[in-house]
Chain A
Amino acid sequence: AQTVTQSQPEMSVQEAETVTLSCTYDTSESDYYLFWYKQPPSRQMILVIRQEAYKQQNATENRFSVNFQKAAKSFSLKISDSQLGDAAMYFCAYRSASGNTPLVFGKGTRLSVIA
């Protein structure tokens, strides 16, 4: 079974600074997807960024980028120019690429942004 580990329960960052959230996963599969989801106090889980395992290039979405290290099974999220609205729980998630499989989530990292 696949597992996702987020070792940082809480992180904080100054507004306009950069922060990196860590995620590691365990799988025996070679083809899969990795995601970062944001869950603000409103509770709605919002997709931040997605990475296909077969792609070597790291995904980027505006201020959000990932560092995907397949051999190390590491998938970190970098948030640049942090904004107050970035404060939320961030979840790393894994999904197998074979068939219609569910997401496997980590326990999350609570990010605080300090003005």
Chain B
Amino acid sequence: ETGVTQSPTHLIKTRGQQVTLRCSSQSGHNTVSWYQQALGQGPQFIFQYYREEENGRGNFPPRFSGLQFPNYSSELNVNALELDDSALYLCASSLVIRTGSSYEQYFGPGTRLTVT
């Protein structure tokens, strides 16, 4: 069984640019959650995708958007980058069964985004 993978590992962008981060979920998982982890902080929930639809969102502005594909991989897009967007972006996948119950979230290694 393959684990959660993320790409790229790190990247540097300029304020005002747009960025796309990618995540491949663990085999058999149907839900992907994205978290932002600022330096020295715990991860903060951005949003979650279940079966290609967003089904939960944290306190992040609309310039943070995402997609989930039929193979359950996912993208996180951030428009109009700001300096405060510099952080580690973590993707986590999990299996959600029909009743809504879910199992543990398994995390990828993250993408380190630096905005200059």
On A, residues with C-beta under 8 Å from B are 4, 35, 37, 42-47, 50, 91, 93, 97-108
Residue in chain A with minimal CB distance to B48: A102
- List the A side residues contacting B104 at CB < 8 Å: 35, 47, 50
Establish whether residues A91 and B45, one from each chain, have CB atoms under 8 Å apart when the complex forms.
no
19 residue pairs bridging A and B, Cβ less than 8 Å apart: A43-B88, A43-B109, A43-B110, A45-B43, A50-B104, A91-B42, A97-B101, A99-B101, A100-B48, A100-B50, A101-B56, A101-B102, A102-B33, A102-B56, A103-B35, A105-B44, A106-B42, A107-B41, A107-B42
Give the dominant DSSP class at A's interface. loop
Inter-chain contacts of B40 with A (CB < 8 A): 107-108
Interface residue from A50, A100, A106 paired with B102 (Cβ < 8 Å): A100
- On chain B, which size bracket covers the interface? 20 to 34
Q: Is the CB of A103 within 8 A of B31?
A: no
**Measuring CB to CB, which residues of chain B are less than 8 angstroms from any residue of chain A?**
31, 33, 35, 40-45, 48, 50, 55-56, 58, 88, 90, 92, 96, 100-102, 104-110, 112
When the two chains form their complex, are residues A102 and B58 in contact, meaning their CB atoms are under 8 A apart?
Answer: yes
Residues of B within 8 A of A104 (CB): 45
Closest-by-CB residue of B relative to A97 is B101
Q: Which residue of chain A has the shortest Cβ distance to B110 in the bound complex? A: A43
Asked if residues B43 and A100 are in contact (CB atoms below 8 Å), the reply is: no
Give Cα A107 to B40, complex, Å: 7
| Closest 6 pairs between A and B when the two form their complex, measured CB to CB | A105-B42, A45-B107, A102-B45, A99-B100, A44-B109, A43-B110
Q: Which residues from A are CB-within-8-Å of B105?
A: 103
- Asked, given contacts A100-B96, A100-B102, whether A44 binds B43 with beta carbons under 8 Å apart, the answer is no
Of B44, B55, B112, which is within 8 A of A100 by CB?
B55
Q: Taking A100-B55, A100-B56, A100-B96 as contacts, is the C-beta distance between A44 and B42 under 8 angstroms?
A: no
